[in-house]
Structure 1
Amino acid sequence: MTTTHELVPLGTGELTLAEDQDDVRGMPVMDVRDHRVGEVEEILVDPEQRRARLLVVASGGVLGLAQHHRLVPVDAVSRVHGAVRLERSDLHVESGFDYDPEPPGPVDYRPVYSYFGYTPFWEDGYPDPYFLDRRWAR
């Protein structure tokens, strides 16, 4: 069974986040071992709740050429303080799912959540991750 849920890139300007502090675009991304993974280039937002659901992490390449863009659920964020810190390694992210800014049709994000070991945000009993529950500004 395929389950698709529309997510909108924040950069399109179609909507704003429910919490301004969730806009971590441009911040460096560090892994669990304190290795630099890349930088948050985009945030995919659930238009219904206006909450960040997936980060698009850009890495590699020179001057934007040959860059990789990987999807990372916000559930994988353990802390945001000067950088976005993940509960996973850079290798885990690098082996993950590519981001296609112009998909040919509806996207099923379930494999992304499964790969990282998290419950998709649309399922019953989904707990708000740290990223969406923090009470401080950067």
Structure 2
Amino acid sequence: MDDTHELVPLSDGDLMLADEHDDVRGMPVMDVRQHRVGEVEDILVDPQERRARLLVVASGGILGLGGSHRLVPVDAISQVRGHIQLERSDLHVDSGFDYDPAPPGPVDYRPVYSYFGYTPFWEDDYKAPYFLHGRW
């Protein structure tokens, strides 16, 4: 079974989200304890449905250098109210998966979903997060 699914960075500019309100780039990301995790640097989009699937959360570093870029499923978002509120801790995100903007080949995102405890969006029993049914 092929577990690779193409996701396109929204920053590439070749694709628009199905709902423009789902573009949360630049928003601060807070964890379940109200600790700042970082900010949304980019969004990985499913090109078939034009839906946000993974956030690229940037943290640390100075002027964009030396920081980390972690993948977080949009399913981990509990709400959006001027910032992204996650259902996980900053430590959970920090020890998660690095984002590679230029992977050498197809990417299997299943481990990212598994690490966060969510069903991948391509599975039959996937339940879309509330914000994919309308506005944040």
Shorter-chain TM-score tier? over 0.9
Shift of 1:134: 4.3
Deviations 1:71-125 (A, max 9, x none): 0000000000000000000000000000000000000000000000000000002
For 1:133 and 1:32, locate their aligned partners in 2 and report how far apart those are by CA, in whole Å. Answer: 23
**Aligned partner letter, 2:28:** P
Once the 2 structures are TM-superposed, how far is the Cα of residue 133 of structure 1 from its aligned partner?
2.7
The Cα offsets for residues 17-76 of structure 1, whole Å up to 9 and x where unpaired, read as: 000110000000000000000000000000000000000000011111111000000000
Which residue of structure 1 lines up, in the alignment, with residue 29 of structure 2?
A: 29
Secondary structure (helix, strand or coil) at the match of 2:66 reads coil
Contact kept? 1:3, 1:110, Cα under 8 Å: yes
CA contact (8 A) 1:28 1:38 kept: yes
TM-score (norm. length: structure 1): 0.95
What amino acid is the match of 1:10?
Answer: L
Give the % identical residues: 78
In structure 2, stretches of 5+ residues that fail to align are none
Name segments (4+ residues, structure 1) moved above 4 Å: none
For residue 53 of structure 1, what is the aligned residue in structure 2? Answer: 53
RMSD: 1.1
Q: Specify the alignment match of 2:4 in structure 1.
A: 4
